Amino acid sequence: MSNAKRQKFTRLFFTYLILAIVMIAIIYPLLWTVGASFNPGNSLVSTTLIPKNPTLDHYRELFMGNKNLPYVQWYMNLMKISVFTMIFTVISVSFTGYAFSRFRFKGRKNGLTLFLLLQMIPQFSALVALYVLAQMLGLMNSHWLLIILYTGGQIPMNTYLMKGYMDSIPIDLDESARMDGAGPTRIFLQIIMPLAKPMLAVVAMNGFTGPLGDFVLSSVILRSTESYTLPIGLFNLVKDVQGGSYTTFAAGAILISIPVAIIFVLLQKNFVAGLTAGGTKG
């Protein structure tokens, strides 16, 4: 074997080895959680990845309508928040990205810098201020307040992504449309938006998945059991170390992935193109 072939083989070997390790690190916990959701009892401890006596009892428990476990209500609350956050994020980011990409106005650079600084500040650092604001506005225990907060948190980074993508769209298209009598609104809706579908898919996915894993902010705002989202509700299942139902928790957590998978399948083509473009276009 020549030195060139040996070097190529070595590079490929270590590349696939690293990929295999990363895939195992990602997939193994997921498979363990799926197996635990079918495991009898309340313990996650098992000697095998596949349960010896699989059962659907934990899934039945989630949908039985138990007053102490209103899983369906929590699920619908989370979907409501995620869907509206996705819609409002796509709309707001489309406007902000277009404005920063196509217009030159006073404070433009400062605005972009402010967005960057806001993205660097952890959301939990403002929890006290958000709690006081919610109390003053009478919006404690409100899903709409969470939607507004989630949408606001999505705007800075997604605006950078959208602006970068729109910058790659030739401005000659705008000028040609203006020569035909089109105004900024028509250019935005009929030219820029259709061409920006890949990045819109990325923003939509970010907006939808953002609320799914949040526990801290939602636990501060939401107080009643009926208004809980899944992260809070499922946490209550395991917060008692001795009586925690970990297998039911696993079943409930697995079901969260279903809407994410559906959204990804619907947006897959544009989503992958948007990620690729976002990494190569400035």
State the pLDDT at residue 85.
Answer: 95
Residue 171 lies in a domain: yes
Does residue 50 sit in the same domain as residue 76? Answer: no
Residue 64 lies in a domain: no
State the pLDDT at residue 279.
Answer: 42
- Asked if pLDDT for residue 273 goes beyond 70, the answer is no
Does residue 167 sit in the same domain as residue 241? Answer: yes
Task: Supply the mean pLDDT for the chain.
Answer: 83
225-263 confidence digits (pLDDT tens) = 889 999 898 888 777 544 557 788 888 888 888 888 888
Region 55-66 average pLDDT: 80
Does residue 133 sit in the same domain as residue 272? Answer: yes
Region 13-31 average pLDDT: 88
Buried b (16+ CB within 10 A) or exposed e, 114-127: ebeeeeeeeeeeee
Does residue 31 sit in the same domain as residue 86? Answer: no
Residue 144 lies in a domain: yes
70-117 confidence digits (pLDDT tens) = 888 999 999 999 999 999 999 999 999 998 888 888 888 888 888 888
Does residue 180 sit in the same domain as residue 40? Answer: no
- Asked if pLDDT for residue 67 goes beyond 70, the answer is no
Domain of residue 246 covers 70-280
Does residue 134 sit in the same domain as residue 272? Answer: yes
Does residue 53 sit in the same domain as residue 75? Answer: no
State the pLDDT at residue 153.
Answer: 87
Does residue 161 sit in the same domain as residue 212? Answer: yes
Residue 62 lies in a domain: no
State the pLDDT at residue 281.
Answer: 43
Does residue 45 sit in the same domain as residue 158? Answer: no
**Of 14-18, 46-50, 133-137, minimum mean pLDDT range:** 46-50
Taking the C-alpha atoms of residue 158 and residue 186, their distance in angstroms, rounded to an integer, is 23
Overall number of domains in the chain: 2
DSSP class of residue 68 equals T
Residue 63 lies in a domain: no
Residue 97 lies in a domain: yes
**Of 37-46, 125-134, 165-174, 200-209, minimum mean pLDDT range:** 37-46
Reported confidence tier of residue 171, pLDDT bands at 50, 70, 90:
confident
Residue 262 lies in a domain: yes
94-107 confidence digits (pLDDT tens) = 999 998 888 888 88
Does residue 149 sit in the same domain as residue 246? Answer: yes
The CATH number of the domain holding residue 179 is 1.10.3720.10
State the pLDDT at residue 104.
Answer: 84
Does residue 77 sit in the same domain as residue 201? Answer: yes
Does residue 91 sit in the same domain as residue 116? Answer: yes
**Of 3-7, 140-144, 200-204, minimum mean pLDDT range:** 3-7
State the pLDDT at residue 278.
Answer: 45
Residue 65 lies in a domain: no
Among candidate residues 12, 30, 57, the one where a domain is terminated: 57
Taking the C-alpha atoms of residue 27 and residue 17, their distance in angstroms, rounded to an integer, is 15
- Asked if pLDDT for residue 28 goes beyond 80, the answer is yes
State the pLDDT at residue 276.
Answer: 54
Residue listed under structure tokens 């138990």: 66
